[in-house]
Structure 1
Amino acid sequence: MLPSQHRLRRSQDFDDVVRGGARSGARRLVVHLSTTPPDDGSAPPRAGLVVSKAVGGAVERTLVKRRLRGLLAERLGGLEQGDRVVVRALPAAHRATSAELGSDLDAALAGARRRANRPGRRSQR
């Protein structure tokens, strides 16, 4: 479970990360990462999930959401202050094990971090 202070809640926050963040994909999911150094250094990293009906029915979507929430909670310590992450599950996610989702999440987070840190990339708000 993601702690309350680490959750993205408003649709505007999701939109800002998806439209302005660095994107990296894996077989079963896509990660959008917005790196914003906080002004006062106190903004915790925040994360949100997008699991559409393309993933499956309500039962399948709920299972994928639970797995991804747990995996994200384990990885919060590796995120920097002010980071905002949106994880979008792809249809193949409902057939994946937690270990497969975890490896895809790690790979996609690393790819998004590399893209966000590219020289010449405009800073995010």
Structure 2
Amino acid sequence: MVAAAHRISRGSDFDRTLKSGVRVTTRDLVIHVLPLNTSPPADPDERPAMVATVGGPWLGLIVSKAVGNAVTRHRVARRLRAAFARVHDQFSVPETMMVIRARPSTAQLGSAELSEQITAALSRRRIREAFDERLSTSHSPRVRS
């Protein structure tokens, strides 16, 4: 399971990930991934400041009523958290936010199938490019004058 410290709970973090992150769709999921910049934030309340104390990656879930009743939605959320726990070590940038939107078809899937879809999404070119871009900007050598 995913620890509470690794769950996205603030609406502003959801919004930022959905608006600025890279979106990839699979058959049953819509996944938004946002590698964070680890430079010191101007606002001390921003999430990247927590990276030093908690670390990432962070997971946010969107499981709407279209998926099913409350019991079904909670089951899907538990399975998505278990699937994320299986694949979270595949992030090349640990300071990453991921929001997963479940489609109605996820109600029939197990956590193994969901983790396969998440793994497939993380291996897509758009996600790899976002991680590569983040790694190249954060590890670029500094020029002294």
Tell me the residue number matched to 1:99. 112
What do residues 37-93 of structure 1 show as CA deviations (whole Å, max 9, x unaligned)? 312673422111110111111111111101001111222222223211001101110
Is the contact between residue 2 and residue 69 of structure 1 (CA under 8 Å) also seen in structure 2? yes
- Percent identity between matched residues is 37
What is the aligned counterpart of 2:90 among 53, 78, 81? 78
What SS does structure 2 have at the residue aligned with 1:9?
coil
Q: 1:39 to 1:118 in 2, by over 3 A?
A: closer
- How big is the alpha-carbon RMSD for the aligned residues of Structure 1 and Structure 2? 2.1
1:52 corresponds to 2:67: no
Offset of 1:118 from its aligned partner?
Answer: 7.4
What is the aligned counterpart of 2:81 among 62, 65, 69? 69
Offset of 1:3 from its aligned partner?
Answer: 1.2
Where structure 1 has 5 or more consecutive residues not aligned to the other structure, the ranges are: none
Give the number of aligned pairs. 120
What do residues 22-44 of structure 1 show as CA deviations (whole Å, max 9, x unaligned)? 01010111110001231267342
TM-score (norm 2): 0.73
C-alpha separation between the residues in 2 aligned to 1:25 and 1:62? 22
Where structure 2 has 5 or more consecutive residues not aligned to the other structure, the ranges are: 41-50, 138-145
C-alpha separation between the residues in 2 aligned to 1:72 and 1:82? 15
